[in-house]
Amino acid sequence: MENRLFEKVLADRRADEARAAGVYPYFHRLESRQDAVVVMEGKRRIMLGSNNYLGLTSCPEVVEAAIKAVEKYGTGCSGSRFLNGNLDLHIELERELADFVGKEDAIVFGTGFQTNLGVVSTLVGRGDYVVFDAEAHASVYCAAQMSFGKALRFRHNDMDSLERRLASVPDGAGCLVIVDGVFSIGGDLADLPSVCSLAKKYGAAVMVDDAHGLGVVGKGGRGTASHFALDADVDLVMGTFSKSLASLGGFVAGRRAVVDYLRHSSYPFVFSAAITPASAATALAALRHLKAHPELTERLRGVSDFARKAFAVRGIPLADSAMDGITPILPIPTGGTMETCVAAKKMFDGGVFVNPFVPPGVPEGHALIRTSFMATHTRELIEEASDIIAKAIQC
């Protein structure tokens, strides 16, 4: 009998069709450091497809911290922190992250994706509920599937939908509400004041995935809870190092007892190797640089505002989520999958790298091109990139 396992693989022709048409937009070869301008496949490109919001991947003191860490600790930890890979760097990083976001303690995981898996699958058990925004990151969906609890989605930023979900949770059941602080595709902020109010009404805990909020919004880049002055109302703050902190890894911060429980019970933490010394040192140096230069967040806001105006002058449309936004994520609606790939190819050929989002990352017919800006983008670069984008979508 023939094994049918790979039938779905052979039937999926989307990537092959895009390659055949010469518009496949993914896995471009980067040949320089991540910066406002990069060398990609032998040509200068303005980078509008990075999450390097503060531009710290090329900050000299951050780079130097990584080099020194390798010299002192070597290249890796060779095991989990639970048993044999627990560096003083990891402990220091956790302490400073917790202090930065106003929590008692923090725990560092290997990636942001792994953080969500480790937190939700551990805390949400049988008989518990996890309620999350429909536009939450894919890691939240996977985490909800991994847990033994009941998963309920609510319509994006729709508080009536959230309340209906919370009202359906049985009395006495544990419940965790999860929202992105800054939504990674649309660039809009969660309605966190309403989320916290409803969670309090129904006795639920609140977790904010602030992967795209840390360093971007809030006092000195402290994130979405800080932006809304709701630090005390948010139970768990999750963040990543691969965005504003110029490294690799993730963390969650909260009450000391909760974090300690995760240290001893979260499989993705206990059974995974620790992040490398270079990654920990880089994130710590980037965090300290941000604390020393809180104006970076305001600079990023200024860059984002200038980019919105540059797009508007040239007739570049923006998704409704970004029209009045304050984040550096500016999504351009493009409609169909092939049209999106063609537009992204024109931009790439013109010298601008962007992120095309097509199904299943977005609903069918709602593909878009996500542009994202850094504090290190100059007005001249933004003007140049905007001209190229305008030409690409108007052809």
326-345 tens-digit pLDDT: 999 999 999 899 999 999 99
Give residue 176's identity as a one-letter amino acid code: L
Q: Where in the chain is the domain with CATH 3.40.640.10?
A: 60-292
For position 294, what pLDDT does the model report?
97
Q: In what order do the strands lie in the sheet with 37-40?
A: 37-40, 43-47, 352-353
For position 38, what pLDDT does the model report?
98
Return d(Cα 276, Cα 119) in angstroms, integer: 21
Q: Can you say whether residue 229 is alpha, beta or left, with left for phi > 0 and alpha for psi between -120 and 50 degrees?
A: left
| % of the chain exceeding 90 in pLDDT | 94
Closest listed residue to residue 331, CA positions, set 169, 227, 184: 184
Return d(Cα 328, Cα 386) in angstroms, integer: 15
Tell me how many degrees the CA angle 259-263-267 measures, rounded to the nearest 5. 120
Mean local confidence (pLDDT), 243-263: 98
For residue 362, pLDDT over 90 is answered with: no
Which tens digits make up the pLDDT trace of 102-131? 999 999 999 999 999 999 999 999 999 999
For residue 323, pLDDT over 90 is answered with: no
Q: In what order do the strands lie in the sheet with 175-180?
A: 105-109, 250-254, 236-240, 205-209, 175-180, 129-133, 150-154
For position 189, what pLDDT does the model report?
97
Characterize 67-105 residue by residue with b for buried, 16 or more Cβ atoms within 10 angstroms of its Cβ, and e for exposed. Answer: eebeeebeeebeebbeeebebebbeebbeebbebbbbeb
Closest listed residue to residue 186, CA positions, set 321, 340, 335: 321
- SS3 (DSSP) at 137: coil
Query: Which residue in 243, 289, 345, 346 is the catalytic one?
Result: 243
Query: Which residue in 184, 226, 247, 279 is the catalytic one?
Result: 184
Q: Is 184 a catalytic residue?
A: yes
Helices (H) and strands (E) in the chain, counts: 15, 13
Q: Where in the chain is the domain with CATH 3.90.1150.10?
A: 15-47+294-394
This prediction has a pTM of 0.96
* Sequence-ordered strand ranges (E) for the chain: 37-40, 43-47, 105-109, 129-133, 150-154, 175-180, 205-209, 236-240, 250-254, 329-335, 352-353, 355-357, 367-372
Cα Rg of the chain, angstroms:
21
Of the pLDDT bands very low, low, confident and very high (cuts 50, 70, 90), residue 1 is: confident
Return d(Cα 5, Cα 53) in angstroms, integer: 41
For residue 395, pLDDT over 70 is answered with: no
Domain 60-292: which CATH number of 3.40.1000.10, 3.40.640.10, 3.50.50.60, 3.40.50.720: 3.40.640.10
Report how far apart, in Å, the C-alpha atoms of 242 and of each of 200, 214, 233, 246, 386 are: 32, 11, 26, 5, 26
Return d(Cα 261, Cα 67) in angstroms, integer: 33
Which tens digits make up the pLDDT trace of 60-110? 999 999 999 999 999 999 999 999 999 999 999 999 999 999 999 999 999
- SS3 (DSSP) at 148: coil
Residue 105 contacts residue 260 (beta carbons within 8 Å): yes
Of the pLDDT bands very low, low, confident and very high (cuts 50, 70, 90), residue 209 is: very high
For residue 381, pLDDT over 80 is answered with: yes
Q: Is 243 a catalytic residue?
A: yes
For position 2, what pLDDT does the model report?
75
**Encoded tokens for 25:** 């937009």
Q: In what order do the strands lie in the sheet with 329-335?
A: 329-335, 367-372, 355-357
For residue 295, pLDDT over 80 is answered with: yes
| % of the chain exceeding 70 in pLDDT | 100
Residue 69 contacts residue 281 (beta carbons within 8 Å): yes
For residue 195, pLDDT over 90 is answered with: yes
Q: Is 372 a catalytic residue?
A: no
CATH fold of the domain at 15-47+294-394: Aspartate Aminotransferase, domain 1 (3.90.1150)
Please provide the size of the chain in residues.
395
Looking up tokens 């602030």 gives: 210
69's enclosing H/E stretch is helix 60-73
**Encoded tokens for 187:** 């660039």
Query: Which residue in 212, 289, 345, 377 is the catalytic one?
Result: 212
Looking up tokens 């206990």 gives: 270
